[in-house]
Amino acid sequence: MDGSSFMDMALTEAEAAGGRGEVPVGAIVVNSASGQVIARAGNRVEETRDPTAHAEMLAIRAAVTELVGNPLGRALSGHDLYVTLEPCPMCAQAIAFAHIGRLYYGAGDPKGGGVEHGPRIFAQRSCHHRPDIYPGIGEKRAGALLRDFFEALR
């Protein structure tokens, strides 16, 4: 599978989240070398009433559980994260702590993003790990999903 197939999987998670009444965001953790998908998740903030239950946090926590004793090093070293929306500051900092190697995301989020917007977490001097960042993959579909969702709420 290539990068756009992984983003398709993240988009499928996003659509499923939307179907549950969640803001439609999905995320996938992939082993960089083997291409094995380690974890996948969609937003569960409404269902759990837990404001930290963003797709990226759930995917990271599931992947960590899967990889206890990751031979590659710290938490998620050697793994990539695909997410349909630019991560917020909370998720961006979690991605740094987890030592994710590459971050692929779909749509930018001028209002709530923390990578290319707002606090730009990875550009902070206090940020000790910065993934390689690939924005814009699957952007159109991810953006359309979010637009449709918020329009339906009006």
Token pair recorded at residue 145? 């999903």
Q: 115: which DSSP letter?
A: S
Which residue from 26, 114, 131, 138 is in contact with a second copy, where contact means CB under 8 A?
Answer: 114
Cα–Cα distance for residue pair 144/149, rounded to 1 Å: 8
Query: For a second copy, which is the closer residue by CB, 125 or 154?
Result: 125
Q: Which is nearer to a second copy, 37 or 62 (CB)?
A: 62
Structure tokens that stand for 18 in this block:
């939307």
Distances, alpha carbon 105 to alpha carbons 46, 97, 125, 135, in Å: 22, 18, 23, 5
User: Positive or negative, the Cα torsion across 44, 45, 49, 50?
Assistant: positive
What's the N-to-C CA distance of the chain in angstroms?
38
Residue of 34, 126, 151, 152 interacting with a second copy (CB under 8 A): 126
Instruction: Give the sign of the dihedral formed by CA 92, CA 46, CA 137, CA 80.
Output: positive
66 is catalytic: no
Q: Which two tokens stand for residue 127?
A: 């940020």
Q: Per rule CB under 8 A, is residue 130 in the interface with a second copy?
A: no
Candidates 116, 124, 134, 141: give the one binding a second copy (CB under 8 A).
Answer: 124
In the three-class reduction of DSSP (H, G, I as helix; E, B as strand; rest coil), residue 132 is classed as: strand
Closest CB 76 distance from a second copy, rounded Å: 8
121 scored as a contact of a second copy (CB under 8 A)? yes
Give me the 27-66 binding string for a second copy, x by CB under 8 A, dash otherwise: ---------------------xxxxx----x--xx--xx-
- Using CB under 8 A, list all residues that contact a second copy: 48-52, 57, 60-61, 64-65, 67-70, 74-75, 88-94, 97-99, 111-114, 117-121, 124-127
Q: Which residues are catalytic?
A: 56
